[in-house]
Structure 1
Amino acid sequence: MDITLGKDQERELTGSIRRYLEEAFGEEVGDLKAEGFLRFVLHEVGPHVYNRAIADARDHLEAQVADLENVCFAEERSWWAQGRGVTRRPGRG
């Protein structure tokens, strides 16, 4: 799976890479090298990050669905028992 970015995103990230390399390592690189490095990261690292994000989202959704009964429970009441304090509890007739 190839991760693609828009031109504005590429330009912003290329600038960020150039700045990082200069500030962290004292290395000045041009746009061509920074773009090449960005392509490498997207190709080599991007899928790992993407898959981890998808797994985290799946785990979160599964936890929410597992707790759905507790989150979305509505107390059941008989029409005729309203106002008399009589309610049915879960699991009872």
Structure 2
Amino acid sequence: MREIKFSQDEKDRIVAKIKRYFDDELGQEIGNFEAEFLIDFFAQEIGPSFYNSGLHDAHALFTEKSEEIGYLVQELEQAVD
């Protein structure tokens, strides 16, 4: 798996969400540095689980669509006399 990297714009938006969560839910203020540290921690420690879940979902969708294509191909078969 490749390293998860965010653009600066993405990181800024995520930092704002983390800071808002800490303030709203925990009644604590954290700075940008701490929020960015949390992003990096979660990306490294939890990211692979989300990545694997996404791969599983993609595989299931691919399998489903492949079966649909198989049925469509069967419908194209012509009767042999």
Q: Indicate whether the TM-score tops 0.5.
A: yes
The residue type paired with residue 41 of structure 1 is: F
Q: Name stretches of at least 5 consecutive residues in structure 1 with no aligned partner.
A: 77-87
Q: Which residue of 1 aligns with 2:76?
A: 74
Quote the residue 2:15 is aligned against: 14
Partner of 2:58: 57
Q: Please, what is the CA RMSD of the aligned residues? A: 1.6
Q: Which residue of 1 aligns with 2:28?
A: 27
Q: Give the number of aligned pairs.
A: 79
TM-score (norm 1): 0.75
| Distance across 2 between alignment mates of 1:12 and 1:69 | 43
Determine which structure has more spread, i.e. the larger CA radius of gyration: 1
> TM-score scaled to structure 2, two decimals?
0.85
Percent identical pairs in the alignment equals 24
- Deviation, structure 1 residue 71: 3.4
Between the two structures, name the one with larger relative contact order (CA 8 Å, sep ≥ 6).
2
Unaligned regions of 5+ residues in structure 2, if any? none
Distance 2:72 2:24 in 1: 49
